[in-house]
Structure 1
Amino acid sequence: MPIDRPQIYDNHGRPIQYLRLAVTDRCNLRCFYCMPEEGIAYLPKKQLLTYEEMLRITSVLAGLGVRKVRITGGEPFVRHQLPNFLYQLADIEGIDEIAITTNGVLTQKYIPDLKKIGVKTINLSLDSLDRQRFYEITRRDEFPKVEACLYELLDAGFEVKLNAVVMEGRNIEDLIPLARLTEKYPVSVRFIEEMPFNGEGSHYPTLHWTYRRILEHLQTEFPDIQKQIDPLNSTAYHYQIPGFLGSIGIIAAFSRTFCGTCNRIRMTAQGTLKTCLYDDGVLNVRDLIRSGISDEALQQEFIRVFQKRPKDGYEAENNRQSLVHESMTTIGG
């Protein structure tokens, strides 16, 4: 018998079902499109949400209809005792799915824990299959660890999504080799438009590699690539090359074509709620919790801001108090 669960909707009729929860603002890579080479000024630990606070926030949101939680960072596995937190997160009533986004450098040894917890989907950030280009993009020589993690995740039966940011002059030669991974492996390779979240301010006045151009480039090598049905609330356009085991996704992250069905919210590591990737934060949840707010009052605060949600990323960006300048590692990927 199906369980009758509450479901909150925003002011545009979109359900709020999916929480992207950043557990840290720290990262062990220095990807140039995410942060400056010298890194960013990381927040003191006391300014970050504790695990107990994250569990409480998730429980309150589950009571409003959130069913899926994606753990992001920074790099999630940089944070101490993450698996213990994930075991507790999986016990929250109403949470049906936990997913992880990781760069794969530290992930491999935690694969048995992730299986026990019930994590099924792993998003692995990998912008190049070439060790030198990987180093130039990430400023760290960690490709062998990430490659080994990829194949162990596949062997362990995880649904693996490879996230590759498409960058002019950086990794265009990797698009076809990455797509070819789907021939022999049941992996979803997702090509993502570059965004201006590198911690230095908006510096992409023109986006050369739009989702349309990415598709056209793939079609030069795979002219029979076929469009697939996109799942509800999907951020990606889905494709498959006939005869290949895996699939391809193209995410219009900068063009923002998927906003009309967005069911996602973000909680930064410092406890700021973002109802859109492009807003500058709509609610300081950390301070509310530390002021002694009740669960019922916190729930009402969530409902209040959900009813003021911008219709798309362009409206959210226009409503900002300042230009986009933050690093993706402080937002939560």
Structure 2
Amino acid sequence: MNTQTQNIIYDNHGRPITYLRLAVTDRCNLRCFYCMPEEGVKYLHKSKLLTYEEMIRTVSVLSELGISKVRITGGEPFVRHNMIDFMYQLSEINGIDELNITTNGILTGQYIRQMKEMGVRAVNLSLDTLDKKRFFEITRRDEFDKVYDTLFQLIDAGFEVKVNAVVMDGKNTEDILPLVGLTQNHNVSIRFIEEMPFNGEGNHYPKLAWNLHRILAEIKSQYPDLQKLVDSPNSTSYNYQVPDFQGNIGVIAAFSRTFCGTCNRIRLTATGDLKTCLYDEGVLNIRDLLRDGITNEDLKSTFLQAFKNRPKDGFEAERNRKSVITESMTTIGG
């Protein structure tokens, strides 16, 4: 990674913006219940997506404004051709001192050596269950063995591994305690995530059945001595550890939105929509600006203006929407 003395930019609520979640594709080789509908997914034509060159240019401009951390998301990043070469290019941008990735693990194992070489430190692995049958029911694909094997390859390779498990009523709540059990002998972080309405269909439930408090109560039913850890600045998760266990546990209140006050992240979708909040509709389209010939200086000014009109939290962003949430997480980038 290449570091440089950087600016620090703040939004209109005094929050620094240092972290970009960059979606590189809307395609995925799974069909997870909470992320996208089983059928009828209309993938975008390649021309609608940001090119690698456009993404490199955009990240370079953002790095000059103060972005120092990039997480690659999707869809599933590794379904896009030449992804590992693109990651090498990202890792060489001045000012980007942290490059991470979120993946479902199906195609990831073959790239572990290259990711280590370029300095990737942290990998988030999506895995909602340790049961092969439930994995198929949730993802609609028979890929559990491959994902489970990738998990331990990543741990053995020394990555900071976080397992992202979306908690879904009637789908995988019986997996909460087995997933916590993984932290006993493995240096891994298990992060339980409240389900969000970004599945291409809207909310599945009239209200959220498994929120932060109920998830914690379930964990404490078997581990009553669960200890609270100190959360890092800008953390989206409330973090805990079972005494004497190697790993740790986090709960992300993604639906309750209790972490918005310290949010330091922005999102860029695969089509170039800038989202200054997960729950907004996209505040402008970077792809169109680039293809219309915008200069880097004007692009910087456009970013800064967007950052100065950021909603206070996800509830305000949702209220400001012109339409109800119907998009899927695969089009948003997580």
1:65 aligned to 2:79?
Answer: no
The one-letter amino acid of 1:46's match is: S
Residue 62 of structure 1 and its aligned partner are, at CA, apart by 0.5
SS of match in other structure, 1:63 = helix
1:274 aligns with 2:275: yes
Provide the rounded CA distance (Å) in 2 between the counterparts of 1:260 and 1:96: 24
Q: Deviations over 1:158-217 (max 9, x none)?
A: 110000000101001100000000000000000000000000123332001000100000
Aligned pairs (5 A) from 1:239-254: 239-254=240-255
Aligned to 1:288: 289
2: CA distance, partners of 1:28 / 1:135: 13
> What is residue 302 of structure 1 aligned with on the other side?
303
Answer yes or no: is the 8 Å Cα contact 1:202–1:323 preserved in 2.
no
Give the CA deviation at 1:27: 0.2
Normalising to structure 1: TM-score of the pair? 0.99
Amino acid at match of 1:93: N
| 1:14-33 aligned within 5 A | 14-33=15-34
Equivalent pair of 2:4/2:95 in contact (CA under 8 Å) = no
Structure 2 equivalent of residue 148 of structure 1: 149
Aligned to 2:126: 125
The answer to whether residue 179 in structure 2 is matched with residue 178 in structure 1 is: yes
Structure 1 partner of 2:201? 200
Task: Give the letter aligned to residue 296 of structure 2.
Answer: D
Match of 1:160 in 2: 161
Tell me how far 1:4 sits from its aligned partner. 3.7
CA distance in 2, matches of 1:89, 1:115: 14
Q: For the residues of structure 2 that align with 1:317 and 1:241, how far apart are their CA atoms?
A: 36
Number of the residue aligned with 2:239: 238
Cα distance between partner residues in 2 of 1:13 and 1:109:
42
Q: Are the counterparts in 1 of residues 4 and 94 from structure 2 also a CA contact under 8 Å?
A: no
- Which amino acid in 2 is paired with 1:317? E
Q: Is the 8 A contact 1:30 1:39 kept in 2?
A: no
What is the Cα deviation at residue 40 of structure 1?
1.5
SS in 1 for 2:182: helix
Q: What secondary structure sits across from 2:110 in the alignment? A: helix
Is 1:187–2:214 an aligned residue pair? no
The 3-state SS of whatever aligns with 1:178 is helix
Q: Determine the C-alpha separation between the residues in 2 that align with 1:256 and 1:322.
A: 20
SS of the equivalent of 1:218 reads helix
In structure 1, the gaps of 5 or more residues are: none
Cα RMSD of the aligned pairs, angstroms, is 0.9
CA–CA distance in 1 between the matches of 2:153 and 2:17? Answer: 33
User: Could you report, residue by residue, the CA deviation over 1:240-283 in whole angstroms, capped at 9, with x for unpaired residues?
Assistant: 00000000000000000000000000000000000000000001
Cα separation, 2, equivalents of 1:234 and 1:285: 27
Q: Deviations over 1:128-178 (max 9, x none)?
A: 000000000000000000001000001110110000000101001100000
Aligned equivalents of 1:29, 1:307: Cα separation in 2: 37
Distance 1:265 1:121 in 2: 18
Q: Residue 34 of structure 1 aligns to a residue in which SS?
A: coil
Moved more, 287-296 or 193-202: 193-202
Separation in 2, partners of 1:117, 1:237? 30
Residues 20-46 of structure 1: CA deviation (Å, up to 9, x unaligned): 000000000000111110151111000
- CA deviation digits over 1:89-130, x for unaligned, max 9? 011000000000000011000101101111010000000000
Mapped to 2, the partners of 1:60 and 1:327 lie a distance apart of 28
Give the match for residue 38 of structure 1.
Answer: 39
Q: 1:39 to 1:122 in 2, by over 3 A?
A: farther
- Whole-Å Cα distance in 2 between the matches of residues 5 and 304 of structure 1? 19
Contact 1:27–1:78 (8 Å) recurs in 2: yes
Deviation for aligned residue 1:69: 0.1
Deviation at 1:3, TM superposition (A): 5.6
How far apart, CA to CA, are the structure 1 residues paired with 2:176 and 2:203? 25
Q: How many residue pairs align between the two structures?
A: 332
Q: Which of structure 1's runs of 4+ aligned residues deviate more than 4 A?
A: none
Consecutive unaligned residues of structure 2, counting only runs of 5 or more, are none
SS at match of 1:273: strand
* TM-score when normalising by structure 2: 0.98
Q: Aligned pair 1:221/2:222, yes or no? A: yes
**Once the two structures are superposed, what CA deviation does each residue of 1:225-244 show, in whole Å capped at 9, x if it has no partner?**
00010000000000000000
Whether contact under 8 Å (1:29, 1:140) holds in the other structure is yes
Distance of aligned partners of 1:151 and 1:292 in 2 relative to their CA distance in 1, 3 Å threshold: same
SS of 1:200 mapped into structure 2: coil
Query: In structure 1, what is the equivalent of residue 115 of structure 2?
Result: 114
Q: Share of identical aligned residues, percent? A: 66
